[in-house]
Amino acid sequence: MRNKEIILRKLFLGILFFSLLGCRDDDFSVCEDKEEVTAKFSIGVKLTLHREELDTLLVSDTVLTFNRVEFSADETYDSYEWNIGDDPRVFSDRKVTLFFETPESNLEIRLIAKRNPNTGCFPDDDGIDTLVRRLTVIERLENPVFGKYFGYLEDSPNDSFQVSIIYSDLWGIQMININEGCNPASKGFVGPDIDFLYKKLFFGNDKGSYYYVDGCQDPVGWLFVAPNNNDVIIEYSTGGGDKYNAFPEIRTYHRFIGKRTN
């Protein structure tokens, strides 16, 4: 009789243990993919060129004057309250796009995000969170990309030449000798369109127009200046046409590696 009681007691304890364990698992699974309301946002430059392969938002906390800067909440909230520097306006959309006419140092960007909280998983969550980030705005013509760079093509190390990024009051920002021999400034042409960013730029004409003027082979690509401000990498492609016949589907890809010479 006693053995039977012991067996029944063990059986009951076993059922109770697995029942409680199951409850804990269920509770955990309900909350495992949830999180408290947390303000999150990105800062980036909104580009203006429209090549199909171009990602039009470049995330950065340092921008140039007159860049189109986008502040974008990373998640969907019930409401947004943006305070940007000393701008008296309060913005309430998920995305805000502005440009700055003058340099700024440590400009405060504040987002107050509100969303109905999940108090079942987070009983102390009040549904409101604030995130503050800082933005630096550099004078446009003080961008470190300006200068002359001597280097070579990675797939042709013996092919060395100089690339220049210059500015003139008449033509604005120009890129000379990319591709090698492309010199629109010599005849007063503007050259490939340029999206000008801090320590980098995107160059290439808008989709549907091709640049085969004065030695240019419709160059399209990115220029990146290293943190030391001396080394540069230019990743670009050229077309297979000429000023009479453009063949945009025929592209050759290149990688220029150079060092600043001035």
- Same domain for 45 and 137: yes
What is the value of pTM for the model shown? Answer: 0.78
Q: Are 203 and 192 in contact (CB under 8 A)?
A: yes
Q: Is it the case that residue 59 has pLDDT exceeding 50? A: yes
Residue with the bigger pLDDT between 211 and 65: it is 65
Residue with the bigger pLDDT between 151 and 21: it is 151
Beta strand segments in 74-206, E = 79-84, 95-98, 104-114, 128-138, 147-153, 156-168, 172-176, 194-197, 200-203
Q: Is it the case that residue 4 has pLDDT exceeding 70? A: no
Task: Looking at mean pLDDT, say which of 154-168, 193-207, 235-249 comes out highest.
Answer: 154-168
Strands 62-64 and 128-138: parallel
Domain membership of residue 51 as a residue range: 41-141
Question: ∠ at Cα 125 (124, 129), nearest 5°?
Answer: 140
Q: Which of 111, 141, 171 is a domain's end point?
A: 141
Q: Are 234 and 256 in contact (CB under 8 A)?
A: yes
Q: Is it the case that residue 20 has pLDDT exceeding 50? A: no
Residue 121 lies in a domain: yes
Q: Is it the case that residue 17 has pLDDT exceeding 50? A: no
Q: Which of 121, 141, 161 is a domain's end point?
A: 141
Distance (Å, rounded) from C-alpha 101 to C-alpha 92?
23
Split into its structural domains, the chain has a count of: 2
- What per-residue confidence (pLDDT) applies to 60? 93
Task: Quote the percentage of the chain above a pLDDT of 70.
Answer: 80
- Same domain for 240 and 195: yes
Dihedral of CA 162/165/170/172: which sign? positive
